[in-house]
Structure 1
Amino acid sequence: MKYYLFASAALFVAGTSSFRLPTDGQLSNGRRASIPAGHPPVHWKPAGPGDVRAPCPMLNTLANHGYLPHDGKNITEEHTIRALKLALNIEEELSQYLFQEALTTNPAENATTFSLDDLSRHNILEHDASLSRLDHYFGDNHDFNQEIFDQTRSYWPDPVINVQAAANAREARVKASNATNPTFALSELGLAFGYGETAAYIIILGNKTTGLVDRSWVEYLFENERLPSELGWVRRKDPISFSDLENMLQQVVNATGNSEDTKLDMIKRGDFHTGRRS
């Protein structure tokens, strides 16, 4: 998913602690707040015995909140479309596409469902240089790793993350992984997912026009696998479309330095993520 780069005035305002936008899935001033009046009750329960989870903090979050099956198993297209719409207001076309990508991780022939732990299979959708997980080479590519996430968020110096800071954090993780993992590899699939994951937290939690997102909301979601409703975030009223994904993803690519992983000019509908689509 994606974010637009913002004008210099917006960048200036983003660096100030008083910056805020209406809390319609947009930005707060970052202070911890109670759930806004009128917000639906927030139900949340972490994974328990017999439940499975993914290397994806957002899908884990949706399972913890019960939008996806809480056990994380046998997720259907209907489950996916409904969960992404109810929780995040993602349009059906994009949800269908994301489900089809997730389905490729199920090793069963002619699978029609996937389970969250299927997503841990290395170099299908899961990839090296995660923002919050160890590389597969080091063992646990599945569970949240605080040390890795601390590396990521060290590149977010201000209370509000902009596209450049988000891109810097992603690129730093690629470089760190490349320097420490002797089996490091990023396919076009892995590259595209890396860009897409960065763009996703911006447009889901932040402002898809300015490309600004409250850092505390992003940290809360990654560290707790829980929607940051207690901090003032609410589901956006305007839906998130495939075009939003493409636009913000390209902005993250454009904000990334001239290193070898910026060669990904295939990011457009048709070959986004895998190069399989025509």
Structure 2
Amino acid sequence: NITASQLVKGLQEGLNSSPLLANFLAIDFYFGDDHTIDPELVDLFLKQNIDGKINEEALSKLHWIRLNNSKEVNPTLLYNTRQKILSAGESSLLLNFIGANTNFEIDIEKLDVFLKHERFPEGWEKPNKTVGLCSIISGLRSFLKRYDQRVFN
């Protein structure tokens, strides 16, 4: 087991995260089993690629696919502002950390390695600049704007 301070240090050094954001990331906001990656969901995610890359548009598209699917199969689905913000925040975190040095886009091959094998892909480097709360919030707002503009059935 690692301590909270070790986690914060690892996030700062491994991902070039600001100290405030490293603490923010230590809080568990995931729903369901947050320890197991669903390979089918990863495959669905990767299919949303645009020219072999996952970007803000692809992540927003996946958000609506998953939400509409959940509405169909889960009659007790709870989706409100909190869940919407968490979804946008998770997407912003992914692009700000994994896609930071590649114009906030991630090659699907690299994302496949990251998500299915839970390791950093060969050639990936931590962000060149410290990722702070401002960049995460900016990305979150951008995702929320996309979510609000999306019309779904």
TM over 0.5: yes
For the residue of structure 1 that corresponds to 2:7, the secondary structure is: helix
**Count of aligned pairs:** 151
How do residues 44-63 of structure 1 correspond to structure 2 at under 5 angstroms?
none
Equivalent of 2:131 in 240, 246, 260: 240
Quote how far apart the aligned CAs of 1:213 are: 2.3
Q: Does 1:224 align with 2:117?
A: yes
Quote how far apart the aligned CAs of 1:82 are: 0.3
Q: Larger radius of gyration, structure 1 or 2?
A: 1
Cα-Cα RMSD: 2.3
| 8 Å Cα contact 1:152/1:173 also seen in 2 | no
- The equivalent residue for 1:152 is 45
Quote how far apart the aligned CAs of 1:174 are: 1.3
What percent identity do the matched residue pairs reach? 21
- The equivalent residue for 1:195 is 88
| 8 Å Cα contact 2:55/2:104 also seen in 1 | yes
| Residues 161-211 of structure 1: CA deviation (Å, up to 9, x unaligned) | 221112111221111112112221124332211111111111111137943
Quote how far apart the aligned CAs of 1:222 are: 0.7
Unaligned runs of 5+ in 1: 1-72, 103-118, 120-124, 128-135, 261-278
Aligned equivalents of 1:208, 1:246: Cα separation in 2: 18
Superposition TM-score, scaled by structure 2 size: 0.84
Q: Which amino acid aligns with 1:247?
A: S
Q: Does 1:252 align with 2:143?
A: yes
- The equivalent residue for 2:8 is 81
| Residues 64-98 of structure 1: CA deviation (Å, up to 9, x unaligned) | xxxxxxxxx4x433122201011100000111233
How do residues 47-126 of structure 1 correspond to structure 2 at under 5 angstroms?
73=1, 75-99=2-26, 102=27, 119=28, 125-126=29-30
| Residues 200-233 of structure 1: CA deviation (Å, up to 9, x unaligned) | 11111113794322222222111111111x2x11
